[in-house]
Amino acid sequence: MKIKGNIVDIKNRRIYKGEVSIIEGKITAIQAQDHDVENYIMPGFIDAHIHIESSMLVPSEFARIAVTHGTVATVSDPHEIANVLGIEGVNFMIENGKQSPFKFNFGAPSCVPATTFESAGAVIDSEGIKELMANPDIKYLAELMNYPGVLFDDPEVLKKIAWAKHYQKPVDGHAPGVLGDDITKYINAGISTDHECFTYEEGLEKLNKGMKILIREGSAAKNFEALIDLLPEHFENIMFCSDDKHPDDLMIGHINTLCARAVAKGMDVFQVLQAACVNPVKHYNLELGQLEIGDAADFIVVENLTDFKVLETYIDGHLVSEHGVSKLKSLPFENLNNFNTSEKEVSAFRLPSEAKHIRVIEAMEGQLVTNQLIEKTTIKNGNLISNTATDVLKMAVVNRYNDDAPALGFIKNFGLKEGAIASSVGHDSHNIVAVGVSDEMLCKAVNLIIKNKGGICAVNSSEDLSAEKMEKIVPLPVAGIMSDKDGATIGRQYADLDRMAKQLGSSLNAPYMTLSFMALLVIPSLKLSDKGLFDGKAFEFVSLEVD
């Protein structure tokens, strides 16, 4: 097989007309050749850090969509399913990924559970990390979110890092806002990357101290604008990632869109493509073709080098996508889950109090970090309730693994005027997270998730809505966090649900993605776990009531 086009030679910073020859999945020749083909042939895109589970798709279904955008590989942390099902979940992701020609590169989840301050479905200790690190399918130690454990020399955390070093595999970082002597110690422990920077200054300090920085643009956390100006001076140590990509967003674009945005800002195209296509291969020692003779024929054909419209995607010499249409097929797989809680009564969502002020989580558009606010209470019949006028809404986190009472708190900026929304995608432990305008609506949303053993939903009680519109759910029967449907179907279902949440009043761009991070204790400042309100800076529980 021979393919003509303008060859994009990132390594030597040149573009020339040529022809690529492929035999049995390998590039056997790249020859300069005069022709009239205007398309560009270049290495495929790589997402340098993503949780496939957050697409709500199993790996083989994620691949079917990703290849249409020119993505040929990911560096994937199966942390989400590991918190539900442990090593069994990690193995599920690896084996399902192998059904596809797409090049998944999975890591060993380093923090299962992420903290001891929440209920998870599994534990992966240092012996579990040892087992995973010995597996050739595991390419790295995934993001070490327990940065306090590193800073305070937690023996178990250090053992996990030691096993990664023993097997000569990189260690990914996760250190939002950690600077100064603390980040120096974190890096010196052997941690080489960070995808959590949210300011230019933070990224610059970490780069200057030897870290590689991943510029993240996902469905909830969007740091591209804050960090992209680091690229011209540090392109050799920059990578692009999405971290978390919801299915409707994945249908629209992936790493290709970040390249287009960077070039539109006047960035050097070779530097942009080095970050998007080359640096992850070098850092993680990926078995991935780089458009060189002898490489696997992993490359893409794009219309131009400005908007990077993908015409064709090749993996191991096979055409896997053409003009936006995936050639990969949906494949059957065996399901697995871990959902063991029963339906709740409305009384479980009551919060007796006489306090005048409470701590409130402030959700931030496009960020995983939150603020802590002190707000006046709204009390009815001795019960703390939501106040839609001030947008201080009751929030619940319900343990999905055992029958425990819901943890209750309050949150601002979701904007709901009616009903409630809920999700069993609740990083990191994937308990049920819900926000609503009343206790009744919270209960209704939570119970809808429980009935389906996982999903994301919206419920309402408005009399002007038809019965079929009073509740809507996208079931997630695979571990309670992924669908068993094809990508196009789940993408449409999710988009419909997103619209319903916004019809209920939510002003957030991605309400469900934002909701999923409100129980993520390792990201400051104030979060809610199934065990209570948690201060991510002090790393301790705090009381809801202030006075």
The amino acid sitting at 464 is D
| Inter-residue contact 500 to 415 (CB < 8 Å) | no
Average pLDDT estimate for 187-205: 97
pLDDT at 462: 59
Q: Where are the chain's structural domains?
A: 46-286, 346-541
pLDDT at 248: 86
Q: Is the pLDDT of residue 123 over 90?
A: yes
Q: How confident is the model at residue 347 (pLDDT cuts 50, 70, 90)?
A: very high
pLDDT at 523: 85
pLDDT digits (tens, 9 = 90+) for 60-116: 999 999 999 999 999 999 999 999 999 999 999 999 999 999 999 999 999 999 888
Backbone phi, then psi, for 500, in 5-degree steps?
Answer: -65, -40
pLDDT at 467: 44
pLDDT at 469: 60
Q: Is the pLDDT of residue 468 over 60?
A: no
Count Cα atoms within 13 angstroms, Cβ side, for 458: 25
Q: Which residues of 142-180 are buried (b: 16+ CB within 10 A; e: fewer)?
A: bbbbbbebbbeeeeebeebbebbeebebbbbbbbbbbee
Average pLDDT estimate for 496-510: 94
Task: Give SS3 for 249.
Answer: helix
In whole angstroms, give the CA distance from residue 400 to residue 206: 37
Q: Got the DSSP string for 127-189?
A: HHHHHHHTSTTEEEEEEE--HHHHHTT-HHHHHHHHHHHHTT--EEE--TT--HHHHHHHHHT
**If we measure between CA atoms, which residue out of 360, 461, 376, 456 comes closest to residue 414?**
360
Between strands 379-380 and 212-216, the pairing is unpaired
Quickly name the fold that domain 46-286 has.
TIM Barrel (3.20.20)
Q: Is the pLDDT of residue 416 over 60?
A: yes
Average pLDDT estimate for 42-69: 97
Distance set, CA 289 to CA 367, 456, 484 (Å):
34, 38, 31
Q: Is the pLDDT of residue 466 over 50?
A: no
Which stretch of DSSP H or E encloses residue 533?
A: strand 532-535
Q: What is the mean pLDDT of the chain?
A: 95
Q: Is the pLDDT of residue 282 over 90?
A: yes
| Inter-residue contact 389 to 404 (CB < 8 Å) | no
Q: Is the pLDDT of residue 8 over 90?
A: yes
| Inter-residue contact 474 to 493 (CB < 8 Å) | yes
In whole angstroms, give the CA distance from residue 239 to residue 156: 29
Q: Is the pLDDT of residue 371 over 90?
A: yes
Compare 462 and 26 and report the one with higher pLDDT.
Answer: 26
pLDDT digits (tens, 9 = 90+) for 138-178: 999 999 988 889 999 999 999 999 999 999 999 999 999 99
Average pLDDT estimate for 416-424: 97
Average pLDDT estimate for 197-204: 96
User: In the chain, pLDDT over 90 holds for what percent of residues?
Assistant: 89
Average pLDDT estimate for 366-374: 90
pLDDT at 148: 86
Q: Which residues of 316-354 are buried (b: 16+ CB within 10 A; e: fewer)?
A: bbeebbeeeebebebeebeeebbbebeebeeebbbbeee
pLDDT at 247: 87
Strands (E), 298-391: 299-302, 310-315, 318-322, 325-326, 357-362, 371-376, 379-380, 383-384
Q: Is the pLDDT of residue 465 over 70?
A: no
